Structure 1
Amino acid sequence: MNYKQTFENCFGEATDKKDWLRTAFLKSLAQTETIAVSLETMRDTGRLPILGLPYQEQDLDDLANHPFLKDNDFKRYVVVGIGGSSLGAQVLVSLRDKDDEPYIHFWDTLDYHVMKPHLTGKKLQNTAFLLISKSGTTPEIMAQTLLVIEALNNSGGAEQVRSQCLAICEPGNNPLGLIADKWGIERLDHDPNVGGRYSGLSVVGALPAILGGIDMKKVRRGARKVLDDALQNAESAPRAAAALNHALYDLHGVRMNVLMPYAKQLEPFTHWFRQLWAESIGKDGRGSTPLNALGPIDQHSQLQLWLDGPNDKFFTLIINHQQDESPIMDVGLADNHPELEYLRDHRISEVVLAEANATAKTLADRGKFLRCIYIDKLDEETLGALIMHFMLETIFTCYLLDVNPFDQPAVEDGKRLTKEYLKGD
């Protein structure tokens, strides 16, 4: 496995007969067996496509050879998407250096000052646009798409629109699809049975990732290892994590789920997790609130509350043991000041690791509910494993709480009202 999961300060001694949390945890863990059997059946019958993606490769070869990727020489690509249409791709692209070409930008905002630079001048000529909306009706994407088409049409007419855009949406007559057809923009199908927040391993995440030089076959390979283990192993990491989430929710009123990796490259991962968890679990008055953080930065903003505030949170630290290539710190540059002696002969990554371990121990010593996920390196396979782990942990936890992990009924009201406000209704 590409990672190791440990629980700290969550259970009493194994001989403690009053360790009610362990009892509740084991009961929930046993209940995951039925869920696993159901998920395996849905995977094998094709009723849950997200669980079939880790075993596929041909679609990745097809994407890699697609003319939009292979026959163009654009310096920049803009992903016009929001939420699930953008976050999964951001997680995958985060593995590359930001200065690598081609540059990949994500318009996950409606702030025009972010969009404007790509819509004028030389940047416009050298930019290709990926227009992504699962339903093809997302208001934000429709607004951005119209801006893109207007800019390209004013610059070079319909041919420029056609050559610099690619659309991804569900098949059928939806607004994005109809716009694409009108302007001759090629459409790629978004599987209607793959929800946006679960689409990171599909074409939605794979296409930008391949553009950025990410090996999606390795990503899916890492995901496949976790999935196979979760469906066959009663004590697998995703099932154990879901069981603990459920037990903490029931017995201790834990209503906040904090994810804090000690790796800047995993910051987009925390935003992806926040949507995944919130939209999946928050239904019928149930669920816990996801809080995303980043170590060591948030030690200086939230740690005080976490340590000295109410014990209503479940903490997850992702700790990376991979050493960076930074130079050894030379304390001599500060005249060997004694207060800096602790930095002597260390790399930056060793400082980060020390802070991660210190935070973990401090949280545990303060009696907080803590999970640590350790990785030896952050690469495609490890990232694929983490993506699948948290998707499965979310799904198992939702079923334990008796909520549907795949719908989002309350969100649709906001989308409907947005359109009514704009129409003056």
Structure 2
Amino acid sequence: MTTETSAEITDPSLAREAEPLVQRLVADRAAGKLAEQDPTLWGPEAEREASVRLSWTTLHETSRGLVAEIDALRAELREEGLSRIVLAGMGGSSLAPEVITATAGTALVVLDTTDPAQVRDALEGELERTVVVVSSKSGTTVETDSHRRVFERAFSEEGLDPARRMIVVTDPGSPLQTLGEESGYRKVFTADPNVGGRYSALSAFGLVPAGLAGADIAGLLDDAESTFPSLRADDESNPAIRLAAALSAAHQSGAEKVVLADSGSGVVGFADWAEQLIAESTGKSGIGLLPVPVENVAAPGFATAGGDATPVAIGPPTDNAAVSTYGSLGGLMLLWEFATALAGRLLGINPFDQPDVEAAKQAARGLLDGPAGGPVATPATVDGSIEVHAEGDWLSAGVGTVTEALRALVSAAPATGYLAVQAYLDRIDDASITVLRPELARRTGLQTTFGWGPRFLHSTGQYHKGGHQNGVFLQVTGAVEEDMEVPGRPYTLSGLQRAQALGDGQVLAQRNRPVLRLHLTDRTTGLVELVKAVQDLRTAG
């Protein structure tokens, strides 16, 4: 497959609907102005924010100086036997490095969880050769700060110097920069502050952990640089213009879901990175594009996409796809960033803010600041190893089984709504729960997303609260066998995890969205019972 980055609209009907929007973007010189970092593209209300969020358009040039610095640090670490890289980061600080290293086939341990078991697994992986990259744009991300504290204590207990094993990536002037410098951390990288987190793949946030893990970051920048001229061109062949027009035209016709499946791109996990970019950029003011990553092009939701969804292949065109995008990883990242920003113009929203993300954080903080352990939740019913909880008053009394509760949740969704599965579990040891996404999509006929909590709160969490209000939400939490203290904080990891789940559920319920929480009192048994309960649902159609 060619490495030239391209976007192809393969559905004739969608191509016709998109054509007027293509012509509008060309006439407005929107792509050229975006490349020139013109903050007026999204209207007066967005101009102030946009004026400090557009440096990502030239990161393929401005990040070049980082390559030698990262390579030198990696060589220095290797000389000291420090070859295991653990990344503590959330959202834009973790998603890009994960797809870069996965595609390159290099090892990177990504910690974007508050599950004690998953954090403990990371601690038990040869600490003597471990370096931790603490990555946070704000420098105050609670999950990342917790990871830092846990690893500092673990290093100290093993007689290892924590400072020599800590590397920081943050914005200039953040509390994390100050802490890193005052604590004598091995290296503190400050990123360009005029780049938002979800557009930061080619900045220090993406390049430092990926480069230290051994990925070819110079090649990544080369690929983006070779793609840039086609993306800034104000003509009909610009792939970013065509992709933005296709997604926006589909949205106008009621297809606000964007179903993403790999069709042989050679890129590993691209949809997970694109998910945050699309959802946080467009999901606000009651509109937006909901990304739905699925397992493959034959998966439920992609092969069976209805009028409310646009199937997009990451890779060569397929029979089921309406749009396909393909090329190198660096080129694809820049293509989707350009297209998402241009789609924001067509949709009439600011693609650089995230006005609804803070609500869930505030609710979680409120629970953490309350009585130890938070409020005791009384389940509506208990079915085997699963407690059934409902936020709000949408669940009728008398529901006795998990299957009945699931059926009620699905019934509460509009015909063109969606179902979001949110798993606050260990995404390594409890990975079998991912089978729920295709099973629920197949049996309910709803577009179904799957997210690991709290990871998704830094991604699709914005869309859930700010986008189309037609979602229903299935939270899955689990009992913790062995908790972990967060040094210097009055809470444990499981307490934080629980507060994040309950806090987000409260915020969704305040927006009149149905939230069903299934708590597994025994994770192993409960997961088996949950899958069986889903299989007992009637198959849609």
TM-score range, shorter chain: 0.7 to 0.9
Cα distance in 2 for partners of 1:118, 1:12 equals: 46
Partner residue of 2:354?
408
Cα distance in 2 for partners of 1:292, 1:242 equals: 18
Partner residue of 1:118?
122
Cα distance in 2 for partners of 1:36, 1:62 equals: 32
- Residues 282 and 264 of structure 1, relative CA distance in 2, 3 Å threshold: same
Aligned positions, number: 354
SS at match of 2:133: strand
Q: Is the 8 A contact 1:210 1:216 kept in 2?
A: yes
Cα distance in 2 for partners of 1:394, 1:173 equals: 28
**TM-score under structure 1 normalisation?**
0.76
Q: Is the 8 A contact 2:97 2:206 kept in 1?
A: yes
Q: Is the 8 A contact 1:117 1:123 kept in 2?
A: no
- Equivalent position to 2:141, from 138, 146, 159: 138
Cα distance in 2 for partners of 1:88, 1:141 equals: 16
Unaligned stretches of 5+ residues in structure 1: 14-18, 321-356, 365-369, 376-381
What does 1:278-357 correspond to in 2, within 5 Å? 278-295=279-296, 299-303=298-302, 305-306=304-305, 310-319=306-315
> Deviation of residue 129 (structure 1)?
0.5
- Equivalent position to 1:2, from 1, 4, 19: 4
Provide runs of 4+ in structure 1 moved above 4 Å: 67-71
> Deviation of residue 177 (structure 1)?
3.3
> Deviation of residue 220 (structure 1)?
1.3
Cα distance in 2 for partners of 1:132, 1:211 equals: 13
The answer as to 2:89 corresponding to 1:81 is yes
SS at match of 2:85: strand
Partner residue of 1:180?
180
- Residues 264 and 219 of structure 1, relative CA distance in 2, 3 Å threshold: closer
Cα distance in 1 for partners of 2:128, 2:242 equals: 51
Partner residue of 2:331?
385
Map Cα deviations across residues 117-160 of structure 1 (whole Å, 9 max, x no partner): 3324x711111100111101111111111111111122226xx1
- Percent of residue pairs bearing the same amino acid type: 26
Partner residue of 1:272?
273
Bigger helix share: 1
Amino acid at match of 1:36: G
Cα distance in 1 for partners of 2:34, 2:23 equals: 18
- Residues 59 and 178 of structure 1, relative CA distance in 2, 3 Å threshold: closer
- Residues 419 and 58 of structure 1, relative CA distance in 2, 3 Å threshold: same
Cα distance in 1 for partners of 2:38, 2:116 equals: 43
The answer as to 2:228 corresponding to 1:227 is yes
Cα distance in 1 for partners of 2:338, 2:260 equals: 16
Q: Is the 8 A contact 1:167 1:187 kept in 2?
A: yes
Cα distance in 2 for partners of 1:302, 1:12 equals: 18
Cα distance in 2 for partners of 1:22, 1:202 equals: 32
Q: Is the 8 A contact 2:89 2:144 kept in 1?
A: yes
> Deviation of residue 232 (structure 1)?
2.1
Unaligned stretches of 5+ residues in structure 2: 40-50, 372-541
**TM-score under structure 2 normalisation?**
0.60
- Residues 301 and 264 of structure 1, relative CA distance in 2, 3 Å threshold: farther
> Deviation of residue 319 (structure 1)?
2.8
Q: Is the 8 A contact 1:32 1:239 kept in 2?
A: no
- Residues 213 and 173 of structure 1, relative CA distance in 2, 3 Å threshold: closer
Q: Is the 8 A contact 2:254 2:307 kept in 1?
A: no
The answer as to 2:99 corresponding to 1:91 is yes
> Deviation of residue 42 (structure 1)?
4.4
What does 1:1-150 correspond to in 2, within 5 Å? 2-11=4-13, 21=17, 24-30=20-26, 33-34=29-30, 36-42=32-38, 48-56=54-62, 57-66=64-73, 69=77, 71-97=79-105, 103-120=107-124, 123-150=126-153
> Deviation of residue 398 (structure 1)?
0.6
Amino acid at match of 2:191: H
Q: Is the 8 A contact 2:104 2:216 kept in 1?
A: no
Partner residue of 1:349?
none
- Equivalent position to 1:240, from 242, 253, 278: 242
Amino acid at match of 2:9: F
Partner residue of 2:478?
none
Partner residue of 1:336?
none
SS at match of 2:291: strand
Cα distance in 2 for partners of 1:222, 1:233 equals: 20
Partner residue of 1:353?
none
Cα distance in 1 for partners of 2:278, 2:312 equals: 14
> Deviation of residue 168 (structure 1)?
1.3
Cα distance in 2 for partners of 1:300, 1:11 equals: 23
